[in-house]
Structure 1
Amino acid sequence: MFKKLLMTLVLWAVVYPLVAQTQGDTIYHFRFEPGNDGLYTAYRNNGTELTRLLSCVVQNKEAILAGTIPILVDGYCSSLHDEAAARAIARIRSNRVKSELITREGLSEACFTTSNHTSGGDYVTVRIAIPAQPSESGPEQQAEAEKRAEQARLEAEQQRLEAEQQRAEAEAQRARLEAEKQRLEAEKQRLEAEKQRLEAEKQRLEAERQRAEAGHPEHDPYHLALRANLLRWATLTPDLGIEWRIAPAWGLMVNGSWTSWTWDNNARRYALWEVSPELRWYLGKQKRGYLGLLYKAGQFNYKLCGTGRQGDLMGGGITGGYQLRLNRALSLDFNLGLGYLNADYEKYITIDGVRVRRGNETKEWWGPINAGVTLVWKIK
C-alpha cells in the first residue's frame, strides 16, 4: 500500500505542472457504492462529472484519437477483503467509465491507459493531459508538455505493472500458505493416528496386565509337570517327582529319592530311599504361593563313623512355598515343610566286613522335615 501511495504522489507531481498549463478541467471523479460495480449518474454528482468529461473529450477528440493526448483511467476498490475480487471490481468500474466514452464519442481502447487498485476508496478517476494551445506557448513549451504527458503515461503503465506484480506475489503467497496449511493438516492427522495407535497399545498392555493379575490360564497352563529337588541332587541323592494339577487351585504331587553309596572297603555306608506324597492348595490370583499336606515314608542306612544306623522313617506335616516362573516351561519351587518324623532303627558295627547288631532305638522329631529348591518342568 505504501508503494502504491508513493507512486500516486509521484504521478501527481509529474501531472500537476501539466495540469497547470492545460485548458479546462482535466481530472474527473466517478463515485461507486461499496461492493458495487454499477456506474449510476444520479449517485454523488456522477452525471455532472460525466457531462464535463464528455465536453472535454469533444473539444480534444482529434488529438485523443491521434494519441497525442492520453486518457489515464484509475479504478479503485477497497470495500472487499479478498484482493482478487477487489481488483476485478476495480477493473469493471474502469471499463464502465471507458464504455461511456467509447459508445458516445467513438473512442477506442487504444486511447486509454488503465490502472486498477485495491486500496484508496471506491471510485474511478479520469485524467486528460491537455497541452497548452500553440498561441499560448511556443514550440518548446508544447514539446515539454508532450514530454510530460508521455512521462505521465509511462509512470501510469509502470504503476499498473507493479500492481500486477504485487498481485502475482500475493497469489503466490496464498498458494504457499495453502500448501503449508495442507501440510500441517496432514501432520495433524498423522499425529492423531499415532495417538490412536499408542492408545490401542496402552489398552492392549493393560489387558495383558489384568490377565496376568487374574491368573489367566495363559500364565499357568500346565496340568502335568516333572520335578527335581536340586538340594537333594547336591547331596548326591537323586530326586524326581511328578505333579498333577487336578484343578487350577489344587495339585497332587509325589516325590521319590534314592541313593546307595559305600566306600573305605565297605566300612562307610550312605543309603536312602523316600517317598513323599503331597496335596497342595495354590493361593492368590496368579496361583504361585501354596500350602500343602505332606506324608513321608522310607528307609535309611547310615554308617559315617564307627556305629551305623539302619531302619525305617515315617511322618508328615504341613508345607508352604512359592513358585518363581522362569519361562513358559520352567519354574523354581522354593518349599519348606514342618511337622513330625518317627525313626525306628538298629545300631550296628562292622567286624571283618560283618555287621554286628548293637541294639535298637526309636527317635521322634518335631520341626523341619522337608526343604527343597525344585526345578519344575511343565510338560502338559
Structure 2
Amino acid sequence: MSKKILFFTLFLWLTAVIVPVFAQEKADTTYTFRFVPQKDMFYVPLDGNDRELARLLECVRRNKDSILSGSLPLYVDGYCNSLDSEKENLRMAAIRSNRVKSELIVRGGIKEECFITKPHAKSHAADGDLVIVRLTVPAPEASATESEGLSKAEEERLAAERAEQERKATEERRKAEEARHATEKAEADRPAKEQAARQAEQHQEITATPLESPSSAHYHFALRANLLRWATLTPDLGLEWRVHPSWGILVNGSWTSWSWSDKDRRYALWEVAPEVRYYMGEKKAWYLGAMFKAGQFNYKLSETGKQGDLMGGGITAGYRLRLNKALDLDFNLGLGYLNADYEKYEVIDGVRVRRGNETKDWWGPINAGVTLVWKLF
C-alpha cells in the first residue's frame, strides 16, 4: 500500500513539473510588442515590452542553433493603423518591425536572414500599433521506444509531412525576402519619384500659363540707342513702352549740330520718329511696324547748302537679338515715303545768300538702325 501511495505522489509531482514546462514552451512561441500610435520608436519598458523581450530572448537562446540554420524562422508581423493612408501605415509597420529585429540581432546574436517580415496596414485588434513575433518551436522528438512502435508507412507519412512543412517554410522565406527587397527598393526610389512628380507639376504649371520665351522676356519700358546714328556723330535716343507682349509703342529722337571751315561747312538736324510695332512668333523676336518721321535739317557739305523740313512715314521690319537678361540688339529697316521742302543758299563773306526753293519726294529706305535696347523694367 505504501508503494502505491509513493508512486501516486511521484506521478503528481511529475505532472506538476513537466506539464507547465511544455505549456510555457507553447505559449512562448508568440510575442507581442506595443508601440505608441504614429511613432516608430521601440520603447522597451512600455506596456510590458521588457517582459516580452526577455521571454523572446530566452526562447531564441534555447533554439539558437535551429534559428541560425534556417530550420526555425522567426515570423515578424508589423501592424499600424494610426496614420492617414495605407502607404504610410505600411511604411511605419516596416520600420517598427526593423526596430524589434535590431534588438534581437544585437542581444540574441542572430542574423537578418533568420526573419520573415511582413508589414500590415490594418489589425484585427483594437490596438493596431504593435509588432508580433512568432516561431514554431518543434515538439520533442519521439523516443526510440516510440519510434520502434511506428510502422514503415507511418514513418514515410511523417517524413513527407516534415518535407512539406520545410518546403512551405522555404517558400514563405522566399516570398518574405522578395517583399522586403520590394519595400527597400520602393523606399530607395521614392525620392526620385517624388522629384519627378514635382517636376511634372511644375512643367504643367508652366505650360498651362503662357509665358514669354527667355529670349524675349516681357518688360514694360526700355531705353534705346541707334548705334548707326551714333557712328555718324548723330546722338540718338529713344523709349519703348511695351503695352502688351505682342505690341509696343516707340519714340526715337536724333539731334546734332556740327560746323567747320570757319562755319563754311555745316551738318545739323533734328528728327522725331514715333512707331507702333507688332511682335510675332513664340519668342516675339521678329516684328512689323508703322513709323512716322518729322524733322528739320541744314546741310552745307559743298558750295551750296540746303535747309528745310522733312516729313514722311512707312513700314518697318526687324529682328530682336537677345544679348542677356537686360540687353537686346535690334536690327531694323524702314521703307516708305519722305517729303523734303527746303531752300538752297550760299555763304558769301559770312552772309547767307538764298538761291531758291526746292521740294523733293523720296520712295525707298527711310530708316535703318542697329539699336541697343536696355530693358529698364
TM-score (norm 2): 0.51
Q: 2:365 corresponds to which residue?
A: 368
Q: 2:302 corresponds to which residue?
A: 305
Question: What is the CA–CA distance in structure 1 between the aligned matches of 2:200 and 2:312, rounded to whole Å?
Answer: 52
The answer to whether the aligner puts 1:95 opposite 2:142 as a matched pair is yes
Q: 1:268 corresponds to which residue?
A: 265
Q: The residue matched to 1:83 in structure 2 has which SS?
A: coil
Q: 2:230 corresponds to which residue?
A: 233
The answer to whether the aligner puts 1:83 opposite 2:71 as a matched pair is yes
Residue type of the alignment partner of 2:298: N
Residue type of the alignment partner of 2:287: Y
**Residues 312 and 219 (structure 1), Cα distance of their counterparts in 2 relative to 1, 3 Å cut:** closer
Unmatched segments (≥5 aa) in structure 2: 1-69, 74-134, 149-154, 160-169
Question: What is the CA–CA distance in structure 2 between the aligned matches of 1:215 and 1:379, rounded to whole Å?
Answer: 17
Q: 2:331 corresponds to which residue?
A: 334
Q: 1:60 corresponds to which residue?
A: none
Matching residue within 344, 350, 355 for 1:353? 350
Root-mean-square deviation (CA), in Å? 4.2
Residue type of the alignment partner of 1:351: I
- Tell me how far 1:259 sits from its aligned partner: 0.6
Deviates more, 1:183-192 or 1:223-232: 183-192
- Tell me how far 1:123 sits from its aligned partner: 6.2
Residue type of the alignment partner of 2:238: G
Question: What is the CA–CA distance in structure 2 between the aligned matches of 1:261 and 1:211, rounded to whole Å?
Answer: 53
Residue type of the alignment partner of 2:313: G
- Tell me how far 1:321 sits from its aligned partner: 2.2
**Residues 90 and 247 (structure 1), Cα distance of their counterparts in 2 relative to 1, 3 Å cut:** closer
**Residues 210 and 310 (structure 1), Cα distance of their counterparts in 2 relative to 1, 3 Å cut:** farther
Q: 1:201 corresponds to which residue?
A: 199
Question: What is the CA–CA distance in structure 2 between the aligned matches of 1:319 and 1:370, rounded to whole Å?
Answer: 8
Q: The residue matched to 1:186 in structure 2 has which SS?
A: helix
Question: What is the CA–CA distance in structure 1 between the aligned matches of 2:147 and 2:178, rounded to whole Å?
Answer: 46
Q: Which structure is larger by alpha-carbon Rg, 1 or 2? A: 1
Residue type of the alignment partner of 2:322: R
Q: 2:319 corresponds to which residue?
A: 322
- Tell me how far 1:237 sits from its aligned partner: 0.9
**Residues 313 and 180 (structure 1), Cα distance of their counterparts in 2 relative to 1, 3 Å cut:** same
Within a 5 Å distance, the mapping from 1:105-144 to structure 2 comes to: none
- Tell me how far 1:342 sits from its aligned partner: 0.7
- Tell me how far 1:315 sits from its aligned partner: 0.6
**Residues 193 and 282 (structure 1), Cα distance of their counterparts in 2 relative to 1, 3 Å cut:** same
Seq. identity, %: 55
- Tell me how far 1:247 sits from its aligned partner: 3.8
- Tell me how far 1:243 sits from its aligned partner: 2.1
- Tell me how far 1:191 sits from its aligned partner: 2.9
Q: 2:125 corresponds to which residue?
A: none
2:216–2:285: 8 Å Cα contact kept in structure 1? no
2:216–2:284: 8 Å Cα contact kept in structure 1? no
Question: What is the CA–CA distance in structure 2 between the aligned matches of 1:181 and 1:315, rounded to whole Å?
Answer: 82
- Tell me how far 1:308 sits from its aligned partner: 2.1
Q: 1:68 corresponds to which residue?
A: none
Q: 2:90 corresponds to which residue?
A: none
2:212–2:218: 8 Å Cα contact kept in structure 1? no
Question: What is the CA–CA distance in structure 1 between the aligned matches of 2:318 and 2:209, rounded to whole Å?
Answer: 23
**For 1:57-86, what per-residue CA distance to the aligned partner results, in whole angstroms no more than 9, with x for missing partners?**
xxxxxxxxxxxxxxxxxxxxxxxxx8338x
**For 1:137-189, what per-residue CA distance to the aligned partner results, in whole angstroms no more than 9, with x for missing partners?**
xxxxxxxxxxxxxxxxxxxxxxxxxxxxxxxxxx9xx99x9889856743453
Q: 1:293 corresponds to which residue?
A: 290
- Tell me how far 1:297 sits from its aligned partner: 0.7
**Residues 370 and 100 (structure 1), Cα distance of their counterparts in 2 relative to 1, 3 Å cut:** closer
2:309–2:341: 8 Å Cα contact kept in structure 1? yes
**For 1:301-345, what per-residue CA distance to the aligned partner results, in whole angstroms no more than 9, with x for missing partners?**
122233222211111111122333334433222222111001112
Residue type of the alignment partner of 2:187: Q
2:293–2:312: 8 Å Cα contact kept in structure 1? yes
Deviates more, 1:352-361 or 1:197-206: 197-206
